Amino acid sequence: MKKAITFLYGLGDLSEYKSLSKYFHIPRIDWNKSTITPKIGRVDVLVGFSLGCILAYIHAEKNKVKTLIMCSPTPAESLKTLKVKKIIFLVGEKEKWCLKEIQRVAKTLKCGWKVIVIPKADHRIIGNYRKKLLEVVNEIENN
């Protein structure tokens, strides 16, 4: 797996996502200023988790992205302005509220999309969730 894929984490200490740094480029996010260091720049694949999805949405409104992977996304009103070819939503089976929001907002999309529900998973990228995320990224890289 190439480390060139950027992962935008949610609220919480960056150390919670350290185990993913061997697979992804994880920039530092200052949530008080809504800034990312270093800036994302041009990417083909962008991954967001929870509140990090909002920053991914903002980036994809201004920049073309081939594939956006949204893990347990924070609700958004609409995604119709995104410059994206495809969105893959990952959500834990225990996140019923999140799945409902994904189904609602997906109706606003103008690109291809799919939802993957991860069995026995909740709002943390561990266990089955982590495994499925890495599988999805590997599949994208190998196609």
Local confidence band at 1 (pLDDT 50, 70, 90 cut-offs)? low
Residue 98 to residue 127: CA distance in whole angstroms:
19
**CATH fold group of domain 6-141:** Rossmann fold (3.40.50)
Residue type, 129: Y
Mean of per-residue pLDDT scores for the chain: 92
Closest CA to 105 of 74, 62, 130: 74
3-state secondary structure of 143: coil
Average pLDDT over residues 68-86: 95
pLDDT of 2 reads 58
65: tokens are 């992205």
Instruction: Please tell me whether residue 21 adopts helix, strand or coil conformation.
Output: helix
What is the pLDDT at residue 27? 93
Task: Report the pLDDT averaged over residues 55-76.
Answer: 95
What's this model's pTM, rounded to 2 decimal places? 0.93
Contact yes or no for 38/49 (Cβ under 8 A) = no
The domain segmentation of the chain, as residue ranges, is: 6-141
